[in-house]
A and B are shown apart, each in its own frame.
Chain A
Amino acid sequence: MASTFAAEIKNVCKQRKDFKIDNVSFTLPSGTVTGFVGKNGAGKTTIINLILDVIKRDSGEILIFGTDNITHRTEIHEDIGVVFDVIGFPETLKIPQLDRIMSGIYKNWSSEEFRNRCKEFDLPEGKKFSEYSRGMTMKLSIAAAISHKARLLILDEPTGGLDPAARSEILDIIRSFVCDDEHTVLFSSHITSDLEHIADRVVFIKNGKIILEEDIITLSETRAIAKFGEDMLSVISPDEITGLRKNAFGCEALVSDREAFSKKYPDVMLCNASIEDIIVFSGKKKGDAAK
């Protein structure tokens, strides 16, 4: 029986030198693609490292496919494929050598699958990785990450620094991966169009805290951008809006409950909020009047 969650992160804390992961909880339901968003330094990579137990957590619990990620570290690493934004393989290697090394690391490594993927991704066998473009390197990392029967694929900024064609190719590869409904993906990205094109859910981290975890459709249906004159500021309570933005000609802010808001203020203009809007406005303080 497959577990409902590929990962459950519960009340995880970690004190780092200059910031902390503060009581972080979220889940990755099996078969879903979750976009992990937040500013640089918000704690995305730290959380990925905590999931992999590369960094030890101070407290809390992390379950991967229902089992603890520390006590079952070795088994869990077989189940997870990871892609970091920098190449993790020695640059002097070529595909056949990497294949041999990986088959020694992973119990479930499939050379056939890896070689097929490399062909499918147009990766040249005879070239050293140092000669690979960024897009090729990323495809190589993904090929390696999913060729050991991983069920959970974690990608840290897989599309960063890629041209649109290469980005679209990476997204296609992720989509093929989740054609199997037992495959789950967590990927961090700053490119909100990537999220709109592939993610089922969004987890938003800010200063080491999770401030939003929701599915994309609910998010776009319940949120809206309200636009109104400054006179309305004395009427609308700061609790009802997020990330207020004022300009010389009016105000705009994010509304979390579109229906309730439009009932209460039928005259306020409400526009559809894109994922990008939601992230930008949520990133600000509540009722914060930034310029």
Chain B
Amino acid sequence: MQILINNSDGVPIYEQILRQIKEMILSGELKEGDPLPSMRILAQQLRISVITTKRAYEELEREGFIESFTGKGSFVRSKSSELIREANLKIIDESLAKACDSAKKCGISADELKDIIDIIYND
């Protein structure tokens, strides 16, 4: 498991942790029931405050990706990869709706649009 923090990124550190853990769940690197490192160990290793890792875990829990048990730690919840998949599908839906909108405005056909997607997808 790898978590890399960018200190010069404008993104808050807890958010960077959140995103990277979500990516690991989605890619299958973290599977249902897998334990997450303890908040304190993660903070120590990344050289950040405990409140930062705590915040990341709280968000993950609130969004339904992990569950925490006092004294035992935090674990990846079942169906969490589906949740992320759904969230991503929603983002894809929205971005494609925008793309279709722009395509229609200048008379680009659905086929042409699909070609563009093919090119970008295989890039």
Q: A92 contacts which chain B residues (CB < 8 A)?
A: none
Q: Determine whether A243 belongs to the interface, using a CB cutoff of 8 Å to chain B.
A: no
Cα distance A31–B44 when bound, in Å?
13
A-B contact count (CB 8 A): 41
Q: Determine whether A197 belongs to the interface, using a CB cutoff of 8 Å to chain B.
A: yes
Q: Tell me whether A197 and B48 are in contact (CB under 8 A).
A: yes
A-B pairs, 7 with minimum CB distance: A200-B51, A175-B44, A179-B40, A200-B49, A179-B44, A198-B49, A200-B50
**Nearest chain B CB to A216 CB, angstrom units:** 6
Cα distance A197–B51 when bound, in Å?
11
Q: Tell me whether A215 and B51 are in contact (CB under 8 A).
A: yes
Q: Determine whether A181 belongs to the interface, using a CB cutoff of 8 Å to chain B.
A: yes
B contact set with A: CB distance below 8 Å: 10, 12, 14, 40-41, 43-44, 47-52, 55
Q: A175 contacts which of B14, B47, B52, B55 (Cβ < 8 Å)?
A: B47
Q: Tell me whether A201 and B51 are in contact (CB under 8 A).
A: yes
Q: Tell me whether B40 and A178 are in contact (CB under 8 A).
A: yes
**Nearest chain B CB to A224 CB, angstrom units:** 14
Q: Tell me whether A171 and B47 are in contact (CB under 8 A).
A: yes
What are 16 inter-chain pairs, A to B, with CB distance below 8 A? A172-B47, A175-B43, A175-B44, A175-B47, A178-B40, A178-B50, A179-B41, A179-B44, A181-B40, A197-B49, A198-B48, A200-B49, A201-B51, A216-B49, A217-B51, A272-B10
* CB-CB nearest in chain B for A200: B51
- Residues A33 and B49 in contact in the complex (CB < 8 Å), given A181-B40, A217-B14, A217-B55: yes
- Residues A197 and B47 in contact in the complex (CB < 8 Å), given A217-B14, A217-B52, A217-B55: yes
Q: B52 contacts which chain A residues (CB < 8 A)?
A: 216-217
* CB-CB nearest in chain A for B40: A179
**Nearest chain B CB to A215 CB, angstrom units:** 6
Cα distance A175–B50 when bound, in Å?
9
Q: A272 contacts which chain B residues (CB < 8 A)?
A: 10
**Nearest chain A CB to B56 CB, angstrom units:** 10
Cα distance A272–B43 when bound, in Å?
23
* CB-CB nearest in chain B for A195: B49
A: interface residue count bin: 20 to 34
Q: B12 contacts which chain A residues (CB < 8 A)?
A: 217, 220
Cα distance A201–B51 when bound, in Å?
8
Cα distance A181–B38 when bound, in Å?
11
Q: Tell me whether A32 and B50 are in contact (CB under 8 A).
A: yes
Beyond known contacts A175-B43, A175-B44, A200-B50: 11 more, CB 8 A cutoff: A171-B47, A179-B41, A180-B40, A181-B40, A197-B48, A197-B49, A200-B49, A201-B51, A215-B51, A216-B49, A217-B55
**Most B C-beta atoms less than 10 A away, residue of A31, A33, A175, A198:** A175
Cα distance A33–B43 when bound, in Å?
12
Near B by CB (< 8 A), chain A positions 173-232 give 175-176, 178-181, 197-201, 215-217, 220
Q: B14 contacts which chain A residues (CB < 8 A)?
A: 217
Q: B44 contacts which chain A residues (CB < 8 A)?
A: 172, 175-176, 178-179
* CB-CB nearest in chain B for A171: B47
Q: Mark A27-47, 1 if CB is under 8 A from B, else 0.
A: 000011100000000000000
Q: B55 contacts which chain A residues (CB < 8 A)?
A: 217
Cα distance A31–B41 when bound, in Å?
13
Cα distance A217–B51 when bound, in Å?
8
Cα distance A176–B45 when bound, in Å?
9
**Nearest chain A CB to B45 CB, angstrom units:** 9
Q: Tell me whether A33 and B47 are in contact (CB under 8 A).
A: no
**Nearest chain A CB to B107 CB, angstrom units:** 38
Q: A180 contacts which chain B residues (CB < 8 A)?
A: 40
* CB-CB nearest in chain B for A197: B47
Q: B41 contacts which chain A residues (CB < 8 A)?
A: 179
Cα distance A217–B57 when bound, in Å?
14
Cα distance A45–B41 when bound, in Å?
31
